[in-house]
């Protein structure tokens, strides 16, 4: 019987592990297949407080993992395939094992949203990517397209100019949504060309990607851009399939939580992007991760009939 | 006219500054007299994610300040004496200047709660302290009392054993509230002696502190402990006096915010301990600071009649 199982290895899950570990709950953290979550796919995290020169996303999550392990977290590289929250203790099945646990912290995060156009699925991993940090290196002196206009799209487009000879940023509107400091850097970068008011209609190629067919949303005109790869940053979808019908989700599939990270099932808490409504950032993920762990500790103490002292001081 | 003024220099204020700076709002941060806030008075922050070996509270907030300044924050060492939120732009008066601002982020944090016993005020700064990091060094080979039983009390008691020959921890209950890993360290430390079920009734001394009179809350018996200093960690009170009658506060004086850090006045946001209900930690402060800044940016964009694009992607 576990005291607390944490699903997810991004900043929210790792922070929950740090806090649960310091409460001597010996947390079991099941990583999932995307080690480090979205943060780990970020080339450079500039706005996580405490690192004035920025830090690589992978490096940051590795530091957090060391910290979690220092306080007794057991990190299990495995993926949850089934979660039964209808009984207590909860039952968590992975590829490798079945666990019973008194409390559960869901920090499964989000996955990249797909464009849903012909060729996208076909060329996934062979020219269609969602992670510049992971795959940028393969596009040395090549031409790539980045789809999207938010922070992630523009930051990763800038990162890709380290490798690529040219980076098109294809955006369906006529202005970017990225923070201004990021926008400015993109405008000043000679390798970046903005393609406004346009969407990708098809990914073209034979063995590998050779181009994208784009459509101007204002006049309906179509054209082809010759590119060797496409990186997509058009939003995210929450990883909540395992919990459908068991937990209250909002209309977009995110887990509903209160300000103490309680879900609709007592003893089940959610943290990080999978429940975040205001701002999905490492800075917010660590906050909700910390709260979820402390609430799990309280839940367990109450289960065991220990009146839990007020933590105000 | 300022775009955004941030009041407070702890992790919440500095994170708001990092985010507002990256949005090119050139934020003005007014530090207040407690530089770095509560975090800066913490000897060692072990649970802020990203620092597996822990980091000094002052060092951590200095890193955050560098990061904020890197993105264009102007840090003003001054204290706000008056805030008029009844008109827009808001008017913020400090000892040194008067500012008008389109948006305001309040990150004024909390101050230590006083015991309210005779001698406490008299010996403040001469034996009565609220900051082990600041004053611990003065108690080399001396005897000190720490009052409280939460994380702060016990962690700082452990820190004080680096200097003091003996540390009494005076707690009004018969068990600690601190996290178990912290409790265990205290129990294993030979220099620490727990004084259970007791409260301080008076601080004794002439020029400096010579002892504390304590009272057992179970049997009413009084006794005297000979100590050279007293460090108090019995909770906190929010620094919201400037905003009374202008902003909605809860029954304990904390600023009421929604999950986007909006206060009851449009354009005024609050972040960090001054509004935190679930868990007051650096990890939660950075999250609310980030959100407050992004919401301030949206507020300003809307003021200027720019439809603000949905940030979901």
The number of C-beta contacts closer than 8 angstroms across A and B is 172
Q: Write out chain B residues lying below 8 Å of A281, CB-based.
A: 287, 290
Task: Mark residue A27 as left, alpha or beta (left: phi above 0; alpha: psi -120 to 50; beta: remaining).
Answer: beta
- How would residue A305 be classed by pLDDT, with cut points 50, 70 and 90? low
Mean pLDDT throughout B117-143? 91
Task: Point out the residue among A67, A180, A234 whose CB comes nearest to the CB of B23.
Answer: A180
pLDDT tens by residue, B178-234: 888 889 999 999 999 999 999 999 999 999 999 999 999 999 999 999 999 999 999
Do B67 and A50 count as a contact with CB atoms less than 8 A apart?
Answer: yes
Whether omega for the bond prior to residue B187 falls within 30 degrees of 0, making it cis, is no
How far is Cα B202 from Cα A150, in angstroms, rounded to an integer?
59
Q: Which residue of A has its CA nearest to B252?
A: A312
| Res B34: pLDDT | 86
| Res B302: pLDDT | 83
pLDDT tens by residue, B260-274: 999 999 999 999 999
Q: Is residue B181 a contact partner of residue A24, using CB atoms and an 8 Å limit?
A: yes
Do B259 and A278 count as a contact with CB atoms less than 8 A apart?
Answer: yes
Q: Write out chain A residues lying below 8 Å of B199, CB-based.
A: none
Q: Which of B15, B37, B49, B154 to mutate to test the interface with A (most CBs of A within 10 A)?
A: B49
User: Positive or negative CA dihedral for B110, B116, B120, B121?
Assistant: positive
- How would residue A304 be classed by pLDDT, with cut points 50, 70 and 90? confident
Q: Which of B42, B175, B291, B313 to mutate to test the interface with A (most CBs of A within 10 A)?
A: B313
Q: Catalytic residue among A53, A121, A135, A273, which? A: A135
| Res B308: pLDDT | 45
Rounded alpha-carbon distances, angstroms, from residue A162 to A139, A166, B71, B183: 9, 10, 22, 50
Task: Tell whether the model's pLDDT for residue A300 goes beyond 60.
Answer: yes
Q: List the Cα angle B136/B57/B270 in 5-degree steps.
A: 125
Closest approach of B80 to chain A, Cα-based (Å): 24
| Res A306: pLDDT | 54
Q: Write out chain B residues lying below 8 Å of A278, CB-based.
A: 259-261, 291, 294-295
What percentage of chain B has pLDDT greater than the value 90?
Answer: 81
Nearest by Cα to A171 from A240, A112, A233, A101:
A233
Closest approach of B32 to chain A, Cα-based (Å): 20
Nearest by Cα to B65 from B4, B14, B12:
B14
Q: What is the 3-state secondary structure (H, E, C) of chain A?
A: CEEEEEECCCHHHHHHHHHHHHCCCCCEEECCCCCCHHHHCCCCECCCCCCCCCECHHHHHHHHHHHHHHCCCEEECCCEEEEECCCCCEEEEECCCEEEEEEEEECCCEEECCCCCCCCCCCECCCEECCHHHHHHHHCCCEEEEECCCHHHHHHHHHHCCCCCEEEEECCCCCCCCCHHHHHHHHCCCCEEEECCEEEEEEEECCCEEEEEEEECCCCCEEEEECCEEEECCCEEECCHHHCCCCCECCCCCECCCCCCECCCCCEEECHHHCCCCCCCHHHHHHHHHHHHHHHHHHHHHHCCCCCCCCCC
- Residue A176 has which token pair? 């970017």
| Res B257: pLDDT | 97
Beta bridge partners of A28: A5, A74
Task: Tell whether the model's pLDDT for residue A312 goes beyond 70.
Answer: no
Task: Point out the residue among B11, B22, B49 whose CB comes nearest to the CB of A11.
Answer: B49
Do B312 and A235 count as a contact with CB atoms less than 8 A apart?
Answer: yes
Q: Write out chain A residues lying below 8 Å of B55, CB-based.
A: 50
Closest approach of A207 to chain B, Cα-based (Å): 30
| Res A24: pLDDT | 85
How far is Cα A237 from Cα A121, in angstroms, rounded to an integer?
16
Q: Is residue B73 a contact partner of residue B29, using CB atoms and an 8 Å limit?
A: yes
Q: Write out chain A residues lying below 8 Å of B281, CB-based.
A: 287, 290
Task: Point out the residue among A113, A261, A283 whose CB comes nearest to the CB of B286.
Answer: A283
Mean pLDDT throughout A204-217? 96
Mean of pLDDT over chain B: 93
Do A260 and B281 count as a contact with CB atoms less than 8 A apart?
Answer: no
Q: Write out chain B residues lying below 8 Å of A233, CB-based.
A: 313
Q: What are phi and psi of B160, to 5 degrees?
A: -65, -20
Lowest mean pLDDT among A62-71, A132-141, A192-201, B267-276: A132-141
Mean pLDDT throughout A57-80? 96
- Residue B270 has which token pair? 């609050």
Q: Catalytic residue among A131, A151, A228, A273, which? A: A131
Nearest by Cα to B39 from B228, B311, B283:
B283
Task: Tell whether the model's pLDDT for residue A26 goes beyond 70.
Answer: yes
Q: Catalytic residue among A53, A78, A121, A134, which? A: A134
Task: Tell whether the model's pLDDT for residue B156 goes beyond 60.
Answer: yes
Closest approach of A288 to chain B, Cα-based (Å): 7
Nearest by Cα to A283 from B271, B175, B214, B55:
B271
Task: Point out the residue among B50, B278, B294 whose CB comes nearest to the CB of A50.
Answer: B50
Q: Which residue of A has its CA nearest to B14?
A: A49
Do B67 and A49 count as a contact with CB atoms less than 8 A apart?
Answer: yes
pLDDT tens by residue, A228-249: 999 999 999 999 999 999 999 9
Task: Tell whether the model's pLDDT for residue A281 goes beyond 70.
Answer: yes
Do B278 and A291 count as a contact with CB atoms less than 8 A apart?
Answer: yes
Task: Tell whether the model's pLDDT for residue B307 goes beyond 80.
Answer: no
Task: Point out the residue among B52, B150, B295 whose CB comes nearest to the CB of A311.
Answer: B150
Q: Write out chain B residues lying below 8 Å of A294, CB-based.
A: 278-279
Mean pLDDT throughout A150-164? 92
- How would residue B51 be classed by pLDDT, with cut points 50, 70 and 90? very high
| Res A12: pLDDT | 98
How far is Cα B157 from Cα B288, in angstroms, rounded to an integer?
29
- How would residue A308 be classed by pLDDT, with cut points 50, 70 and 90? very low
Do B67 and A51 count as a contact with CB atoms less than 8 A apart?
Answer: yes
Start-to-end Cα distance in chain A: 31
Long-range CB contacts (within 8 A, 24+) of B298-306? B299/B102, B299/B103, B299/B266, B299/B267, B299/B269, B300/B3, B300/B4, B300/B25, B300/B102, B300/B103, B303/B102, B303/B267
Q: Which residue of B has its CA nearest to A178?
A: B311
Rg (CA), chain B: 21
- Residue A118 has which token pair? 């012909």
Nearest by Cα to B279 from A173, A171, A291:
A291
| Res A307: pLDDT | 46
Q: Which of A4, A50, A306 to mutate to test the interface with B (most CBs of B within 10 A)?
A: A50
What pTM does this model have?
0.86
Do A181 and B71 count as a contact with CB atoms less than 8 A apart?
Answer: yes
Do A177 and B309 count as a contact with CB atoms less than 8 A apart?
Answer: yes
Q: List the Cα angle A55/A59/A63 in 5-degree steps.
A: 110
How far is Cα B183 from Cα B173, in angstroms, rounded to an integer?
14
Q: Write out chain B residues lying below 8 Å of A273, CB-based.
A: none
- Domains of chain A in start order, with CATH, are 2-111+236-303 (3.50.50.60), 114-232 (3.50.50.60)
Q: Write out chain A residues lying below 8 Å of B272, CB-based.
A: none
How far is Cα B262 from Cα B264, in angstroms, rounded to an integer?
7
Task: Tell whether the model's pLDDT for residue B311 goes beyond 50.
Answer: no
Q: Is residue B256 a contact partner of residue B266, using CB atoms and an 8 Å limit?
A: no
Q: Which residue of A has its CA nearest to B185?
A: A22
């Amino acid at each position: 019987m576990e005291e607390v199982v944490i699903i997810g290895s991004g900043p929210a899950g790792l922070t929950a592990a740090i806090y649960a570990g310091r409460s001597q709950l010996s947390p079991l953290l099941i990583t999932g297949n995307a080690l480090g979550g979205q943060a780990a796919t970020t080339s450079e995290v500039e706005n996580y407080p405490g690192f004035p020169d920025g830090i690589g996303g992978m490096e940051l999550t590795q530091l957090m993992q060391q910290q979690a392990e220092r306080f007794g977290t057991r990190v299990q590289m495995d993926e949850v395939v089934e979660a039964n929250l209808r009984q207590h203790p909860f039952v968590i099945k992975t590829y490798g094992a079945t666990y019973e646990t008194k409390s559960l912290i869901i920090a499964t995060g989000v996955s990249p949203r797909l464009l849903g156009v012909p060729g996208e699925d076909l060329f996934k991993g062979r020219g269609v990517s969602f992670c510049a940090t992971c795959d940028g290196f393969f596009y040395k002196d090549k031409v790539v397209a980045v789809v999207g206009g938010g922070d992630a799209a523009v930051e990763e487009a800038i990162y890709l100019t380290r490798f690529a000879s040219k980076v098109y940023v294809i955006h369906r509107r006529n202005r970017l949504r990225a923070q201004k400091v990021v926008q400015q850097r993109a405008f000043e970068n000679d390798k970046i060309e903005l393609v406004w008011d346009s969407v990708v209609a098809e990914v073209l190629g034979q063995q590998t990607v050779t181009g994208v067919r784009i459509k101007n949303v204002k006049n309906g005109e179509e054209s082809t851009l010759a590119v060797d790869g496409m990186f997509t940053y058009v939003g995210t979808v929450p990883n909540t399939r395992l919990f459908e019908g068991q937990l209250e989700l909002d209309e977009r599939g995110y887990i509903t939580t209160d300000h103490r990270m309680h879900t609709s099932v007592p003893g089940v808490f959610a943290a990080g992007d999978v429940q975040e409504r205001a701002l999905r950032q490492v800075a917010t993920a660590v906050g909700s991760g910390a709260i979820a762990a402390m609430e799990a500790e309280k839940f367990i103490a109450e289960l065991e009939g220990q009146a839990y002292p007020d933590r105000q001081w």
